[in-house]
Amino acid sequence: MWPLYAAGFTTAFGAHGIAANLGGFSKDAVTSLLVLGGLLALYDGAEVLLKPVFGSLADRIGAKPVLLGGLVAFAAASALYAIADSPGWLWAARLGQGAAASAFSPSASALVARLNPAAKHGRAFGSYGFYKSIGYTLGPLLGGVLVWACGLRLLFTVMAVCAAALALWAVLARRLADRSFLAPTAALAAATAALSVGVGFLPVSGASAGLGTVATGAAVSVLAATAAVVQPRAGRVLDTGSLTTGAGLLAGLLITATGLAAAMLPGLAGVLLAAALIGTGLITPLGFAALAASTPAERLGQTMGSAELGRELGDAGGPLLVAAVATVTTLAYGYAALAILIAAGPLLALTARRRTAHPERPPGYGQGPGGRAVTRATT
């Protein structure tokens, strides 16, 4: 339900947030009352004409595709003016926003009905209406702040980002709630984050230690060489049943975190050790094998595409995290921050597994009256 609540919030925020600030005091505000009235009517007019059309289309092909299409179209229409920044494109963007809202608004309402039993429809639509009302309430205020800060283009940019992020969330919502997808994808993202950090920042550590470009380049090449050696062997061990994906991913994450910690050591030894451990090839083959094993054949493309998206997020997020921490402290602390983040997942998993295997026994367990020990007869 949360993506649907967010869809309701987005359409309300976009409708009132932009409408309330079109005639504001920014440099790109609308100065003619007639133009302002036309732009306001354009959005609502598109909804009047197209909501019945998209509602019928949702009944024919399904509400979710129409919802996603509307969100993508809303993001594209908002980006149109944010990029073009001309009065003519403002009309086109506002028309596109109204048409897009006509698609995902009725689709979201249809999904609210389908995802809840008839006896709870009142509560479900009440909650949905609440989040739309929050969007209507915050839209003019937050929109005003954005327009005051940087004009209408910033507001349209924020709307484009919100709609695009919501479309992505709606696509992945069910998969993100599935541990069989989330755990391998998170491991793949963590491995990619560490690899990206190793390639980009280990040469900096080597240069700080007085190493030349040839030495640091050769050391960083150990990353790829390690993966090339380990990946096929890890795949063969998995196929023989000598290693499970769960155990392999946990080991790979801990090795990767250890490699990042080793990068904190000074000199060539720290760079080489970090490169060898960060480049461990366990995670990639085991992560994709786990995803393939838990995904029906007809959804393999979607699952693998989503997993690759997770890797790309790690590829971008890892260097950003290390750079942000290093900027206010030192590069060693940047390595430490990513190491702690990567190690946290497997350590929590191991702790949970230990508690499950050895649950705490209540006081008096195994004792009879008077505190005497009780033995269980076996046959």
pLDDT at 289 over 70: yes
Q: What percent of the chain has pLDDT over 70?
A: 89
pLDDT at residue 320 in the model: 92
Q: Cα 260–308–341 angle (5° rounding)?
A: 30
Running DSSP on this structure, what letter comes out for residue 119?
A: G
- Extract the tokens encoding 204: 């900096």
**Lowest-pLDDT range, 149-153, 239-243, 271-275, 288-292?**
149-153
The string of pLDDT tens digits covering residues 325-347 is: 999 899 999 999 999 999 988 88
Task: Say whether 250 sits in a helix, a strand or coil.
Answer: helix
pLDDT at residue 38 in the model: 80
Residue appearing with tokens 């269980």: 376
What integer best gives the mean pLDDT of the chain? Answer: 81
The string of pLDDT tens digits covering residues 209-263 is: 888 888 888 877 888 888 888 888 888 888 888 888 888 899 999 999 999 999 9
Q: Where are the alpha helices (DSSP H) in 295-330?
A: 300-328
**pTM of this prediction?**
0.59
DSSP per residue, 1-23 = -HHHHHHHHHHHHHHHHHHTTTT
The string of pLDDT tens digits covering residues 220-229 is: 788 888 888 8
- Amino acid (1-letter code) at residue 128: Y
- Extract the tokens encoding 220: 């960083």
The answer to whether residues 67 and 116 touch, using CB atoms and an 8 Å cutoff, is no
Mean of pLDDT values over 107-117: 83
> What sign does the dihedral 149-151-152-154 (CA atoms) show?
negative
The answer to whether residues 16 and 132 touch, using CB atoms and an 8 Å cutoff, is no
Q: Cα 57–68–130 angle (5° rounding)?
A: 95
pLDDT at 315 over 50: yes
- Extract the tokens encoding 165: 């992020």
Running DSSP on this structure, what letter comes out for residue 243?
A: S
Task: Say whether 367 sits in a helix, a strand or coil.
Answer: strand
Report the C-alpha gap between 7 and 168 in whole angstroms: 12
> What sign does the dihedral 173-179-180-182 (CA atoms) show?
positive
Q: Cα 138–129–177 angle (5° rounding)?
A: 90
Query: If you count DSSP H runs as helices and E runs as strands, how many of each does the chain have, helices first?
Result: 13, 0
